[in-house]
Structure 1
Amino acid sequence: MMARSLLRSNVMPDHLNASSLLDLARRAQARAPGPCACTKTPLEGWQSQPLSLDETQLREIGTLMPEDDPEPTFAEYLPGKINYWSAQAPIAPHYFPYNRCGVWECSSCGRLYLRYVEGGGYFVDRRIRALQWTLIEDVAP
Structure 2
Amino acid sequence: MIPVLNAQELLALTSEQHDQQCSNCASHDFSCWETILSTFDRYSLKTVGTLQHPDAEEIWDEHHPNGTTIWSENAPIAVGFHPYNRCTVDQCPECSTVYLRYTEYGGYYVDERIRVVKPELITQAP
Given the two structures, how large is their TM-score scaled by the length of structure 1?
0.82
Q: Which amino acid aligns with 1:28?
A: E
Q: CA deviation at 1:52?
A: 1.4
Instruction: Give the match for residue 5 of structure 2.
Output: 16
CA displacement at 1:35 relative to structure 2? 4.2
Residue pair 1:65, 1:72 contacting (<8 A) in 2 also: no
**Gaps in structure 1 of 5+ consecutive residues:** 1-11
Distance (whole Å) between structure 1 residues aligned to residue 35 and residue 100 of structure 2? 12
Inter-partner Cα distance in structure 1 for 2:2 and 2:16: 16
Q: Calculate percent identity across the aligned residue pairs.
A: 38
Q: Which residue number corresponds to residue 99 of structure 1? A: 85
Tell me, yes or no, if the aligned pair for 2:62 and 2:81 is still in contact at 8 Å.
yes
Deviation string, structure 1 residues 39-78 (Cα, Å, up to 9, x no partner): 4221111100121111221110000001312x52010001
Q: Could you list the runs of 5+ residues in structure 2 that have no partner in the other structure?
A: none
User: 79, 82, 107: which is aligned to 1:121?
Assistant: 107
How large is the Cα RMSD of the aligned pairs?
Answer: 1.4
Number of residue-to-residue matches in the alignment:
125
> Are the equivalent residues in 2 in contact too, given 1:38–1:109 (CA < 8 A)?
no
